[in-house]
Amino acid sequence: NLFDFGMIGLGVMGRNLLLNMADHGFSVIGFDKDETKNSALESSATPGTTVKGVSELAQMIQLLQRPRKVMMLVPAGQPVDDVIASLLPLLEKGDVIIDGGNSHYTDTLRRVKYLREKDIHFMGIGVSGGEKGARTGPSIMPGGDKEAYAHVQPMLEAIAAKVNGEPCVAYLGKEGAGHYVKMVHNGIEYAIMQLISESYAILKKAGLSNQQLHETFKSWNDGDLQSFLVEITADIFLQKDDKTDAHLVDVISDKAGSKGTGKWTSQDSMELPVAVPVIDTAVAMRTLSGYKDERTVAAELYGASNAISEETQVLIEQVHDALYFATILAYAQGLAMLYQASKDLQMEIPLTDVVSVWRGGCIIRSSLLSVFTDAYKQTPDLSNILLNQEVAALVKSAEGNTRSLIAFAAQSGIPAAALMSSLAYFDAYKTAYMPTNLIQAQRDYFGAHTYQRTDIPGTFHTEWGQQ
Ligand code: 6PG
């Protein structure tokens, strides 16, 4: 009896995705050189499901039904190329290789082309949802070869998270589109995490205890801020440390880690170019969090700012609205990036499907994604969701409190760079006249870079300062 699906790399994500497939009636086989991972796979399988782990790649390939469907979940970069090299002598025309890791889309593009020449289908697929999501229903972002997608579509639809019965997976575009969409997903993830951490900083400074922080975030999650990240934030404030009697969050170092996908979003936004300053700020704040020693010296040197007092209940409402406002701005920037990339890189990314796939299973799932799904259904070619009437109404409803909160944070010396950046972007985006006419004048003054006029068509240069 041949198996339906093979997995290379039985780490946390590979093992759980495979077990999820088995739970949905597919017979699955996994390969890992590490024998302990093979036995961990088999022993954690649901009784009655067909799951096998092997430590010889050739053995797994022989045991797969044709066309073979093989996914790899190995670290991005060289390991992916190494696995492809070891697979090539074992595969036949028409077989499908899927990279389910967080690969950079340019690598995926290269691999799609390389393998197409060898008549092997290659797909880059973004998978979000962490360990639990992989086992019970992730959000899946496939891109690449459409013919190959048809082979794996039934399996991916079976294992994906469901929202109103609809699977959180859809074909999201050509070539490297799946990994591109996952990269931008992670950029938005960085932005929202940063915005939540700034909201936490303000509320903590206002004197809220961990219990009160828990209650605040929990009530927000029951309202229009409903999202996975707000939900887990509420939980985090209750977690007790098992080494001391402190709350765990209070003993965790403030140096934040990162594996690079947020940085890639910023880097690629500049290549296009598209302005995503909330994401850029989130990446920069993780970097700044690493300057622990310098920050400690600077804290001594500059001292604390005078805290401005504000009625706590009023402040909580302002933080709620500012987080809501800035979260919409973070999505807007990421989605505007996908809109531009889809056109410039010829990936044909269907934004309606992207936001629909993100409604369940992934780290950035939230009730806002249903609002965005409706917006794209109305206008599929929407360059920025801020131009949608319903989204505009939500943004406007939170604007006043966002301004008050940001003024409060600035006067109180509480770092809130991403919240501030969202408002700064908003104010620039909704300005018909930016002061960049002056920049054009300066460029022409010192470099003869020329400028366009508002009243006469054409390109002009002036010998400045000679009057
Ligand atoms: C997901 C996550 C997942 C992971 C990233 C980001 O969608 O399930 O995005 O892919 O958390 O690797 O991790 P860093 O914060 O370490 O960059």
| Residue 177 counted as domain residue | no
Q: What is the largest CA-CA distance in the chain?
A: 89
Residues whose CB is less than 8 angstroms from the CB of residue 311 and which lie 6 or more positions away in sequence, other chains included: none
Residue 182 annotated to the active site: yes
Q: Which of 175, 189, 198, 231 is catalytic?
A: 189
Nearest C-alpha to atom 9 of ligand 1 is from which residue? 186
Q: What is the CATH number of the domain that holds 56?
A: 3.40.50.720
Check residue 33 and give its pLDDT.
94
Question: Do the Cβ atoms of 72 and 97 come closer than 8 Å?
Answer: yes
Q: Which of 37, 52, 69, 182 is catalytic?
A: 182
For residue 386, give the DSSP letter.
Answer: G
By the 10 Å C-beta count (0-12 exposed, 13-18 middle, 19+ buried), 20 is classed as buried
Residue 293 sits in the same domain as residue 266: yes
Residue 87 sits in the same domain as residue 116: yes
Residue 160 sits in the same domain as residue 235: no
Establish whether residue 141 lines the binding site of ligand 1, counting it when its CB lies within 6 angstroms of any ligand atom: no
Short-list 250, 209, 247, 197, CA closest to 419: 197
Residues whose CB is less than 8 angstroms from the CB of residue 63 and which lie 6 or more positions away in sequence, other chains included: 2, 3, 6, 29, 52, 54
Distances (CA, A) of 464 to 299, 442, 443, 444, 451: 45, 9, 11, 8, 13
Residue 37 annotated to the active site: no
| Residue 95 counted as domain residue | yes
Residues whose CB is less than 8 angstroms from the CB of residue 338 and which lie 6 or more positions away in sequence, other chains included: 180, 181, 184, 349, 351, 354
Which tokens belong to 92? Answer: 């036949």
Q: What is the mean pLDDT of each run of 10 residues along the chain (467 residues)?
A: 96 96 98 95 97 97 97 96 98 97 96 96 96 96 93 96 97 96 98 98 96 98 98 98 95 96 97 98 98 97 84 96 98 98 96 98 98 97 98 98 97 96 98 97 98 98 94
Domain boundary among 123, 143, 171: 171
How many domains does the chain contain in total?
A: 3
Half-sphere exposure of 423 (CA within 13 A, CB side): 21
Ligand 1 centroid – CA 368 distance (Å): 21
Q: What is the CATH number of the domain that holds 465?
A: 1.20.5.320
Establish whether residue 443 lines the binding site of ligand 1, counting it when its CB lies within 6 angstroms of any ligand atom: no
Which tokens belong to 247? Answer: 């709350």
Residue 315 sits in the same domain as residue 462: no
Question: Do the Cβ atoms of 222 and 234 come closer than 8 Å?
Answer: no
Check: complex ipTM more than 0.95: yes
Nearest C-alpha to atom 11 of ligand 1 is from which residue? 130
By the 10 Å C-beta count (0-12 exposed, 13-18 middle, 19+ buried), 445 is classed as middle
For residue 51, give the DSSP letter.
Answer: E
Give the C-alpha separation, 302 to 287, whole Å.
21
Which residue reads 């910023």 in tokens?
266
Residue 260 sits in the same domain as residue 227: yes
Check residue 308 and give its pLDDT.
76
Residue 391 sits in the same domain as residue 456: no
Please give the residue range of the domain that contains residue 255.
Answer: 182-429
Q: Is 404 annotated as a binding residue?
A: no
Establish whether residue 289 lines the binding site of ligand 1, counting it when its CB lies within 6 angstroms of any ligand atom: no
Q: Is 130 annotated as a binding residue?
A: yes
Residue 167 sits in the same domain as residue 291: no
- Please give the number of the atom of ligand 1 that sits closest to the Cα of 260: 17
Residue 218 sits in the same domain as residue 153: no
Nearest C-alpha to atom 7 of ligand 1 is from which residue? 128
Q: Which amino acid is at 298?
A: A
- Please give the number of the atom of ligand 1 that sits closest to the Cα of 257: 16
Check residue 310 and give its pLDDT.
83
Question: Do the Cβ atoms of 266 and 284 come closer than 8 Å?
Answer: no
